[in-house]
Amino acid sequence: MLQIRSDDGVVVALARDTLLRDLAASCGATERWRAAGFVPALEGGPANRNIVGFHDGLSIPRTAADVDEAVWLDGVDTGTGTVAGPAGATTMVVRQMPVDTAAFTALAVERQNEIVGRDRDTGAPLSGGVALDDPDIGAKDETGQVLIPLDAHVRRAHPCPRASTPSCCGAATRSPTRASTGSCSSPSSVTWIRSSGPSSGSTRAMP
């Protein structure tokens, strides 16, 4: 997979054409699928905002050790569900989905916060704290209601979404394994290539 990123779209286009030409000449690789995307500039604050206006990219591996654990395969199949693969390689899932931004942003901010499970202004989880704190899935108010709604995105994205004590995955600390289940930012440009074979190799819908 090629991912080409720049703050200048012309640079992306020129780099893409050059790389594809070189790869075709050197190993017969041809383009299989392409997607363009964007992320806003990071202008202070804890993370970029995404197309629904919320900070996105708060729960990601940050330290070298986190990245090592969450991103890079070690080539060892531990038998615990870890994906075995070549050491130093990684895997990536790309998912495209429509987002009705007009309908979402027309909602009251409080409702938007409930849907995401974080505060739109600050990025802080509705369980309290600051943007870079982990959502406390088990936190409740004085009436016993969970602070992060049962259908909130950050709860659904959590490996242990039950409101009861999350003993199944330990205390609610930031975990590289958890973060690796999804970062929602879009890359600037993604291209799939494959070695040329009998098929045409033309750009087409992602398989």
Kindly indicate which of the ranges 3-11, 82-90, 151-159, 190-198 contains the residues binding ligand HEM, using the contact rule CB under 6 A.
151-159
**How many residues lie near ligand HEM (CB under 6 A)?**
21
| Minimum gap (Å) between residue 54 Cβ and ligand HEM | 3
Residue closer to ligand HEM, measured from CB, 31 or 54: 54
Centre a 10 Å sphere on the Cβ of residue 175 and count the other Cβ atoms it contains: 20
Binding flag, residue 157, ligand HEM (CB under 6 A): yes
Among residues 3, 181, 195, 196, the one that binds ligand HEM under rule CB under 6 A: 181
C-alpha dist (Å) from residue 145 to 39, 116, 164: 35, 17, 12
Cα separation, 33 vs 180, in Å, equals 24
- Closer residue to ligand HEM (CB): 16 or 174: 174
CB 74 within 8 A of CB 87: yes
- CA distances to 69, 71, 124, 177, 196 from 149, rounded to whole Å, are 30, 30, 14, 23, 49
Q: Are 96 and 87 in contact (CB under 8 A)?
A: no
| Minimum distance from residue 139 beta carbon to ligand HEM (Å) | 13
Binding interface with ligand HEM (CB under 6 A): 50, 52, 54-59, 95, 97, 99, 116, 118, 135, 153-154, 157-158, 181-182, 184
